Structure 1
Amino acid sequence: MSYKKLRRLPLAAAALLACMSAQADYTSPDGKFRMSGFGTIGYSRASTDDVYFNYKGQGGGSKKSGSLNPDSKIAVQGTYKITDTVSGTGQIMAKYDADGDYIPTFEWAFVKWQAMPSLSFRAGRMGAPFFMISDFRDVGYANTTVRPPLDVYAQVPVSNFEGVDATHQLSLGSVTLTSSALYGEANADYANALFSDGSPATPAQIKLKGLTGLNFLAELDNGLMLRLGHVRGKLTISSASSNTIKAGLAPVIAGTAGPINAFFPTAASDAAALAATVTQADTDASFTGVGLSYDQNNIVVAAEYTKRRIDGGYVSDTTGWYTTIGYRFGAWLPYLGYGKVKVDDPNATVPAVNSPLTTAVNGVQATLNTQKVSQKTATVGVRWDAKPGLAIKAQYDHISKPVDSYGMFLAADPLRDVATGSTFLNAKKSINVVTLSVDFVF
């Protein structure tokens, strides 16, 4: 079997093999090494072939034909105690990525120093704490729903960062207060278009430098948890489509494009304005979130409210929120949810030009269209804890998007949509997504 075919091997088979062969939560005889794992086999089917349903940034997803790709994943995690206070943790995960593959990668790789019972420091690659469940958002078994609500969680397609953090815990009666601070940088690949055969185009590279953040968590004995977080950094995006646009405009900006520069005096300035519109370089970016969860007496509630702010460039400012409620009946947990994400400020529009730069104008418009993500999601589902370590879920999502929005879906070819007129982008649409998943830990 070729390496390429191996990379695209259906994850369900690999997950089942791992689940059947792994020993649950292995600990070495000396107690220094512990290994565990988790995974999801998820099959989803959308009611449209116009776009792909997925986690933002994946190189494909689910359509009418259905797919295992958006949700299926498997991971193994190990921790080794170097000394009584120093340990190392690594987590290797295979999940559907921006290249449309399942390539095992180190999601986590860090060293932790427990300096005091209440104070710890970590350094390396760690989960990026943008959200309330950042550390376990990939662990389907730990979450009520099939996936974290995408109206909130798709706003930042970055799952880890490399740097340092410090965490302090304080107990005050029935309340445990946890505060943490971080510094580092984050990188992620992001698919924003596909080729005509459905394979992903060259993914964009997202970089967040000078990443700083503060998180505060209050946990009460009655099952209530409150969380406040704020992260900011410098955002840079390098995408093949934007680079192609800018490369094509470079001769016009330099004044060496022959007749265009000779007959159109504003050509150079028009080209410069178009190039600037699709540039996202070293821009101030921030993400703020407030979260609440409650799990007591069979009642389960979770809610988050978030804001993404980008000071310049073409990535839009957004606000997202969701609420999920459920009630346990023994091993069964039916739940309802509702969420929304809206564009507060597009941050960029196509500049007016008086030069024959139609191709570049269409490319710029296609890039900006990918930032039109407003949508609403109504969710109903049920979770069945079949046995310890194994949960089966069924979920139905009704997603509504307004006119002039792609929602959180992946459009196969935004440039084609500009040239021919997209009935999906330019119309109000409702899409239904049905998902069946099996979550397991081992």
Structure 2
Amino acid sequence: MYAEGQPAADADVRWSVSGFGTLGAAWHAADDTQFRRSVDQRRGTRANELDFGIDSTLGLQVHGALTPQWSVLAQAVMNQGRHGEWGPHLVWGFVKYVPNDWLELRAGRLVTDIYLDGDSRHVGYAYTAVRPYADVYGRLTYDNFDGLDATVQHALGDGLLRFKLFGGRTRGSVFLNDREHPVKVGRSFGATLDWIGPELSLKLSWGNMVTTRNDIYAPLRPVLQGVAEGAHALGDHRLAAQASTLASEIANSNRIGYLGAALAWERGPLSLQLMGTDMSMTVFPGFEGWGAGATAAYRMGRWKPYVTWSRSLLDPKDRPFDLDRPIPQELPPPLAGYPVAVGHLRGLYPTITGYTRHDQTTIGAGVRYDVAENVALKLQVDRIDAKRSSTLLDDRGYVTGPRALTVFSATLDFVF
């Protein structure tokens, strides 16, 4: 979310400054568990520790209306970084050109348009709940890019139809298994289609990102190739084909595909939000999954109680790899290393497929109280049930197995 103000009515340059922030606290009692709101956070809330780091943030924005058609905007956000440090980073920084009332062009540092409640996951005040669905949006953190977007809009019915195309160099990082995975070279491109009405809003989002990454699985190629050659020599052509195919798919790049649909409806005091996503990753050995979320709220004066639900699933592609087949007791000397290679893969392959595996559900309830204009206090409790999670971490910083925990959160959100 950003507020650009009104364009200048004359040739004078007009500047405005605004900002936002969140003071947040979170607590849970689950041993050997760190709760994170997103996978780009190196650490999370540990058991029985009141944590002010995962939700707190401060943002400052400067907007300049240069002419009625040209403007510039920069937004810097300070929050807990990937290494636990606190420091500002540039989220928005672009030049905008509006030649007429139906076209808008921007160039610079931009954010992928996937959120219903605003243009950014950092502005807590824009959201009913304490945070966007951590199960879903917490896994979609490569949302910054340096590039271009173009938006066309047209009145349709009693609402406004908008179509946006975007593309550029990807920025971002994730932290998994005590290792940071930054984007060294990557590109993002995609499109969004919105219809915004007086009560109903709809959004369709499609994105594709291709990035380079550390080729951490390169040493696995010769092992797979050795298994393929050994299986072929023993006449196990099925296993040979499986191992050879997997070896050919190990690459130092990753393509992430995203398709999302969302709906927001509000009438009187009642509001409802639904969203769903489909996601795929080509990083070895390939992953596919989906996510969904829902929020219902009811406004009663300054009070707004709400309930939330979200679920996300990411699994390796279902493909056979028959490593448990029996190995002959006596092998010719050229195949002496074959049992060792198969045994190595039997232990390693489940670890690889579980590296980003995820199956997590969250049910939450809370209340928002508007303390004053542009200031909101939120109290929320979430029950998280994870069969396997890459959002949660254990105390060593590794993805977790089964976990069930209750997280208590309080935030004070404001804009100015």
* TM-score using structure 2 length: 0.81
Equivalent residues in 2 for 1:414-433, closer than 5 Å: 425=401, 427=402, 429-433=403-407
CA separation in 2, counterparts of 1:372 and 1:277?
A: 22
1:298 equivalent in alignment to 2:283: no
CA separation in 1, counterparts of 2:41 and 2:130?
A: 17
Residue in structure 2 matched with residue 21 of structure 1 by the alignment: none
1:225 equivalent in alignment to 2:201: yes
8 Å CA contact 2:125, 2:415 repeated in 1: yes
CA separation in 1, counterparts of 2:17 and 2:278?
A: 36
8 Å CA contact 1:127, 1:134 repeated in 2: no
CA separation in 2, counterparts of 1:278 and 1:101?
A: 37
Cα displacement (A) at 1:57: 2.2
Residue in structure 2 matched with residue 409 of structure 1 by the alignment: 392
CA separation in 1, counterparts of 2:352 and 2:186?
A: 23
Q: 1:187 aligns with which of 171, 183, 192?
A: 171
8 Å CA contact 1:40, 1:437 repeated in 2: yes
Residue in structure 2 matched with residue 50 of structure 1 by the alignment: 32
Equivalent residues in 2 for 1:92-103, closer than 5 Å: 92-103=76-87
Tell me the alpha carbon deviations over residues 364-402 of structure 1, each in whole angstroms, 9 at most, x when there is no partner: 644432312111110100001000111110110001122
Tell me the alpha carbon deviations over residues 344-367 of structure 1, each in whole angstroms, 9 at most, x when there is no partner: 544789884732697887566444
Q: 1:410 to 1:32 in 2, by over 3 A?
A: same
CA separation in 1, counterparts of 2:246 and 2:43?
A: 28
The structure whose Rg is larger is 2
Residue in structure 2 matched with residue 421 of structure 1 by the alignment: none
Cα displacement (A) at 1:136: 2.9
Tell me the alpha carbon deviations over residues 66-111 of structure 1, each in whole angstroms, 9 at most, x when there is no partner: 3111111111011112222111111111122222222211111111
Q: 1:179 to 1:387 in 2, by over 3 A?
A: same
CA separation in 1, counterparts of 2:340 and 2:318?
A: 23
Cα displacement (A) at 1:50: 1.9
CA separation in 2, counterparts of 1:165 and 1:123?
A: 7
8 Å CA contact 2:316, 2:357 repeated in 1: no
Equivalent residues in 2 for 1:201-350, closer than 5 Å: 201=179, 203-206=180-183, 209-221=186-198, 223-238=199-214, 243=216, 246=218, 279=250, 281-311=252-282, 313-314=284-285, 316-343=287-314, 345-346=316-317
Residue segments in structure 2 that go unaligned for 5+ positions in a row: 227-232, 235-239, 324-337
8 Å CA contact 1:375, 1:401 repeated in 2: yes
8 Å CA contact 1:42, 1:68 repeated in 2: yes
1:32 equivalent in alignment to 2:3: no
CA separation in 2, counterparts of 1:246 and 1:142?
A: 44
Residue in structure 1 matched with residue 229 of structure 2 by the alignment: none
Residue identity (%): 25
* TM-score using structure 1 length: 0.77
CA separation in 1, counterparts of 2:51 and 2:363?
A: 21
Cα displacement (A) at 1:157: 1.6
Tell me the alpha carbon deviations over residues 305-357 of structure 1, each in whole angstroms, 9 at most, x when there is no partner: 10002245245211100110000110010000111112354478988473269
CA separation in 1, counterparts of 2:306 and 2:345?
A: 47
CA separation in 2, counterparts of 1:162 and 1:50?
A: 38
8 Å CA contact 2:61, 2:74 repeated in 1: yes
Q: Give the length in aligned residue pairs.
A: 382
Residue in structure 1 matched with residue 328 of structure 2 by the alignment: none
Residue in structure 1 matched with residue 102 of structure 2 by the alignment: 118
CA separation in 1, counterparts of 2:397 and 2:53?
A: 22
Residue segments in structure 1 that go unaligned for 5+ positions in a row: 1-24, 195-200, 256-264, 418-423
Amino acid at match of 2:40: G
Amino acid at match of 1:39: G
CA separation in 1, counterparts of 2:185 and 2:370?
A: 39
1:167 equivalent in alignment to 2:151: yes
